[in-house]
Amino acid sequence: MRTRLPLIFLSLGLALAVATGIWQPAHTPAYASSATGLQADFIRVAQQVMPAVVSLKAVRVVTTAPRGGSEDFWRGTPFEGTFRQQGQPVQRRQVGQGSGVIVDPRGYILTNNHVVAGSQEILVHLYDGREVRGRVVGTDPRFDVALVQIQAQGLKAASLGDSSRLQVGQVAIAIGSPYGLEQTMTSGIISATGRKGLGKGNYGDFIQTDASINPGNSGGPLLDIDGRVIGINSMIAAQAHGIGFAIPINTARQIIAKWMK
């Protein structure tokens, strides 16, 4: 009986520790619960923000030189230019792909200037499958910011964050349409802030991130772990991997405020 008493007290002690949460069994390590919590955060952000992310198609009509007729068969001879055939310029339809984020339920969509610049028609594909025409209400080429408006009901706007509070190392999430693959979500971290000397050199306060950004992501949102827009994805470093840049949302918000009525 004396040999059993210590075992009985030990069993009771373990049971009490588990019940009160003082001790956790070895099969539920802390990192597992942390990973599960982070996964839940990503799922929540996707469900919360994706309805506010759109795919943009910017249609441009470009004029190109005619095929044939541009070469002079008699070039280099005394007859050069005498018998040259002059063809007619050719117009063709060019469709550019980009992304955008709804920032106001009245139909205002924030995107990049380079996505919509020179377009004669803008087609906006919404999360629920609708495709509507949009119109540009304002552009700022220097900061590569543009605002598009559509006429549609039941729109959900994303929440805007505060890019002045960003810290290197915090989670960054990108949503957009890389290569036309709509509603693609990638994740990484904030790699740096205040990057200068990029693009045309007119503006120098980019957010750097290693969240995967590709052609077609331009104009889409960069988000924090709470699903708030902290930047607008704008460009990538050529021939690099995991180096993308976004315009801080505080800058973009200040620019578009004068266009929203």
- CATH code at position 212: 2.40.10.10
Stretch (H or E) spanning 188: strand 184-195
Asked whether residue 228 is domain-assigned, the answer is yes
- Domain of residue 254, residue span: 163-259
Q: Annotated active-site positions, please?
A: 114, 144, 218
Asked whether residue 64 is domain-assigned, the answer is no
Q: Which bin fits 109, alpha (ψ -120 to 50), beta or left (φ > 0)?
A: beta
Confidence (pLDDT) at 239: 81
Confidence (pLDDT) at 241: 87
Confidence (pLDDT) at 82: 59
Asked whether residue 171 is domain-assigned, the answer is yes
How many structural domains comprise the chain?
A: 1
> CB neighbours of 80 closer than 8 A, spacing ≥ 6?
72, 74
In terms of Cβ atoms closer than 10 Å to its own Cβ (0-12, 13-18, 19+), residue 5 is exposed
Asked whether residue 79 is domain-assigned, the answer is no
Asked whether residue 243 is domain-assigned, the answer is yes
Asked whether residue 231 is domain-assigned, the answer is yes
Asked whether residue 207 is domain-assigned, the answer is yes
Confidence (pLDDT) at 18: 47
How do the pLDDT tens digits run along the chain, 261 residues long? Answer: 555 555 555 555 555 554 555 545 555 566 667 888 999 999 999 999 999 999 999 998 877 766 555 556 556 565 556 555 556 677 778 899 999 999 999 999 999 999 999 999 999 999 999 999 999 999 999 999 999 999 999 999 999 999 999 999 999 999 999 999 999 999 999 999 999 877 654 567 899 999 999 999 999 999 999 999 999 999 998 888 899 999 999 999 999 999 998
Asked whether residue 76 is domain-assigned, the answer is no
Confidence (pLDDT) at 143: 93
Nearest to 55 by CA among 6, 13, 117, 115: 115
